[in-house]
Amino acid sequence: MAQEVKIQYEPVAEIGGGAYGTVYKARDLQSGKFVALKNVRVQTNEDGLPLSTLREVALLKRLEQFEHPNVVRLMDVCAIMKTDRETKVTLVFEHVDQDLRTYLEKAPPPGLPAENIKSLMKQFLSGLDFLHSNCVVHRDLKPENILVTSRGQVKLADFGLARIYSCQMALTPVVVTLWYRAPEVLLQSTYATPVDMWSVGCIFAEMYRRKPLFCGNSEIDQLCKIFDMIGLPPEEDWPTDVTIPYGTFSPKSPAPVESYVPDMDNLAARLLLDLLMFNPRKRISAFDALHHLYFKDQDENA
């Protein structure tokens, strides 16, 4: 199996490294096309690969049959046994040259035109609605996991890998950014698809600002920064299954959106506030966000 990986995929350059191992740009020697190789180390049980990993990979392969235009393609999976307790899994994805972080950095001042942001958001939400309708919660949305092709096509990456990765977190001492995490995750409450919608809101604001919206350095600091903007929520919205009491935070009123994102028009600001609802049950879904008034003029021109 190890030989197959080396023979079929020839690494060309290292294109990223982080919490979950190294990513390589490689050439598929059979097709001649570039691919992205992502190596993930997973802990194994006595039967080999953990069932959770097999389930996640099977789900990614099943989603592949739909070939959604805003979801990065998983092209191959190769597993190499390393030790009795650990297996290296190589995931082979289609290669896209840049992520949203790079795309935003490349935009000349004063930044992306509002219509470009609207197009990116529509595609972003379309990919996410597809994942959510197939019961996949991304759980780690950030600009580095949103790829943008040279033609401006958005493709979501690293979805469905969160549980595989949480296995690896025990193996690697890493710091994962809190900046895009929903309040329920910061509070260590239960969560579902709305966690992704919070991240969408943070990224939406960042497309205008060209810098992150909330840059906390701890869970509490992150929550304080969030409440500075959206205000302290009513006590009845505070989750009951958390150890951080409501009284930890002082009362705050919401700040006007324009003080954080000056270039947003009214409809964009309304969508942003729908995405940044503290209570996940009140937060807008990807499906409903796609039908928000913010996109109305784009729908009419389609």
Angstrom distance (rounded) from CA 219 to CA 213? 15
Task: Indicate which residue of 99, 140, 158, 196 is catalytic.
Answer: 140
Task: Identify which of 156, 163, 135 has the alpha carbon closest to the alpha carbon of residue 57.
Answer: 163
Q: Which two tokens stand for residue 67?
A: 């070939």
pLDDT given for residue 18 in this prediction? 56
pLDDT given for residue 247 in this prediction? 95
pLDDT given for residue 302 in this prediction? 55
Q: Which two tokens stand for residue 168?
A: 């690896």
pLDDT given for residue 157 in this prediction? 87
Buried b (16+ CB within 10 A) or exposed e, 17-26: eeebbebbbb
Q: Which two tokens stand for residue 201?
A: 């809101």
pTM: 0.87
28 is catalytic: no
Task: Identify which of 284, 256, 111 has the alpha carbon closest to the alpha carbon of residue 199.
Answer: 284
Domains and CATH numbers, the chain: 7-94 (3.30.200.20), 98-301 (1.10.510.10)
Task: Identify which of 237, 148, 151, 229 has the alpha carbon closest to the alpha carbon of residue 187.
Answer: 237
Residue 90's DSSP bridge partners are 39, 78
Starting at the earlier edge strand, list the strands of the sheet with 74-81. 9-18, 21-28, 34-43, 86-94, 74-81
Residue 36's DSSP bridge partners are 25, 93
Q: Tens of pLDDT along the chain (302 residues)?
A: 444 455 789 989 988 765 556 788 999 999 999 999 888 777 776 666 666 666 677 777 788 888 899 999 888 888 776 777 777 788 888 999 899 999 999 999 889 999 999 999 999 999 999 999 988 888 889 999 899 998 999 999 887 565 554 444 444 444 568 999 999 999 998 888 999 999 999 999 999 999 999 999 999 999 999 999 999 999 999 999 999 999 999 999 999 999 999 999 999 999 999 999 999 999 999 999 999 999 988 656 65
pLDDT given for residue 3 in this prediction? 43
pLDDT given for residue 1 in this prediction? 41
Task: Look up residue 168 and give its amino acid.
Answer: Q
pLDDT given for residue 160 in this prediction? 58
Question: Contact 61/44 with Cβ under 8 angstroms?
Answer: no
